[in-house]
Structure 1
């Protein structure tokens, strides 16, 4: 890896994205960054382990800016290696949803996003952790990890597209009426709940209206927790309807809490946990905490209106 300069950067790009990464694509990206005063080395990765290793190596080599070119999964993996270091994360939103990039206020246009990398500001944002695993968006237990696994099985075995597979996976999981008992410790208070899911966000998520699933701040130093009190298809569909009608906060079977740290003790010793879309099997109890301002990231010069 070449010796870093004050305006040097490393771009981490998925070699399998789209139709692959032909040399002209890599050269074009390097040229666009050079036009903006950034000398960039593009590193192609084939899988998650290569991505993690490349991000850690760039940070330890003192590269000042490491750019994650991809979706939330790629950004989360790179962020996990940069949190707590002086290395700045840059984001080129090239995924399907790009939740973190949108919440950061980044433009979805590639050239505009490149302008932010070169001329934006560096801000400190929070990251969440579950049993030491960093997440930038959210983590959950219950129905969502099962939906993700069902969706991926359909894509591998049946060749379904992402959205059709997701729709079928939701129906499959909800048909089983899943629910679980959990004990929570939230800032000294012990809670016993039965719920189909527990969702933990890095900062507060909008849960009502058409802005549902977005965040207006990434630096409040708090985790947000959301859970339903009853399972079943119709109960969850009712909550979804209330969310669209902006009446979810008044529902007596939906609970929202905030904390800097919390502990979740499900009945099982090992449980599936989703963290930024990746499903892991973890030992319980699940120890969640927020790390305020642990990640330095490039953001637009002015906060979005």
Structure 2
């Protein structure tokens, strides 16, 4: 274990499991060999200022409790600080935790905080906005923009699947443009994933993406009909190699991404941008506490 002398914990109490598990997490963290200054934030609008206040005290470890959207929304604040990120997965999909190999139960995640090793990892970027795991265009932003909060909190991934079926009926394929000028590539697609890691929606989708690769991956599901997307989702969920049959990937340090028509982009579940954008990588920009031997070991795909 690294020499950690102090830690701060900030939990999004509006995340799916936040309120329920805050007290339990605090009790378990009393067993850690360093003090933890814990904060449960009821109003998500106050998360930024709570994290800023925690960082001002210069802890060795900042533990963020919530889902992928919480982590992506707050990780920008850590850039430039000499602090290690700790992850307490309390969301619906917990894709970032799965990418790092962090168990998605409280006890397992806290064991990583105690016994793990700090690893330097990349962050993705959409224009100037850092993100931890994956951005998406297509049906995912449509679901994220419209899904009732109560449905997500009560039913979790099952609720997402039901809502996805409703939104799927309204969805249409679109044109993806990667690159600029004469060298730009155009293709008809049903979904696009801009990935810093292999998991999207809690399922392994983008095998070629890794948090320590130094490159961003843009993966497109090709097709003029929506059944291609259903096929890709099903193959990914069940771990079939066929999930790659209808996909094409682009990778690099900086890729221009546009669509026809212009579309919203969800960043780890939150709609925060619209095409066109620059998809970039910030290589090795933060440290995160991960299980030994490191963040390249995938976590099993299980319901969150």
Question: Are 1:54 and 2:50 matched, yes or no?
Answer: yes
SS at 1:255 equivalent: strand
Superposed CA RMSD? 3.3
2:259 is matched with which residue?
Answer: 266
User: d(CA) in 2 for partners of 1:288 and 1:19?
Assistant: 31
User: d(CA) in 2 for partners of 1:172 and 1:72?
Assistant: 23
Equivalences for residues 93-112 of structure 1 within 5 A:
93-112=89-108
1:17-65: per-residue Cα shift (whole Å, max 9, x none)?
659469xx64x64454343221111112123321122222322332221
Q: Indicate which of 119, 124, 128 corresponds to 2:120.
A: 124
2:7 is matched with which residue?
Answer: 9
1:57-96: per-residue Cα shift (whole Å, max 9, x none)?
3223322211112222222223222134211111122333
Q: Is 1:124–1:293's contact at 8 Å kept on the other side of the alignment? A: yes
Q: Indicate which of 166, 169, 188 corresponds to 1:172.
A: 166
Instruction: Work out which of the two has the higher radius of gyration on C-alpha atoms and give 1 or 2.
Output: 1
Provide closer, same or farther for how the CA distance between residues 295 and 164 of structure 1 changes in structure 2, counting only shifts above 3 A. Answer: same
Q: Is 1:183–1:191's contact at 8 Å kept on the other side of the alignment? A: yes
Structure 1, unaligned runs of 5 or more: none
Aligned length: 289
Equivalences for residues 150-169 of structure 1 within 5 A:
150-152=146-148, 155=151, 161-169=155-163
Equivalences for residues 1-305 of structure 1 within 5 A:
7-16=5-14, 18=17, 20=19, 26=23, 29-30=25-26, 32-152=28-148, 155=151, 161-185=155-179, 189-203=183-197, 205=198, 211-212=204-205, 217-240=210-233, 245-249=240-244, 251=245, 253-267=246-260, 271-282=263-274, 284-303=275-294, 304=297
Q: Is 2:191–2:229's contact at 8 Å kept on the other side of the alignment? A: no
SS at 1:295 equivalent: strand
Provide closer, same or farther for how the CA distance between residues 39 and 241 of structure 1 changes in structure 2, counting only shifts above 3 A. Answer: closer
Q: CA deviation at 1:127?
A: 0.5
1:76-126: per-residue Cα shift (whole Å, max 9, x none)?
223222134211111122333322112212233423322321332111111
Structure 2, unaligned runs of 5 or more: 299-304
TM-score after normalising by structure 2: 0.80
SS at 1:293 equivalent: strand
Q: Is 1:131–1:287's contact at 8 Å kept on the other side of the alignment? A: yes
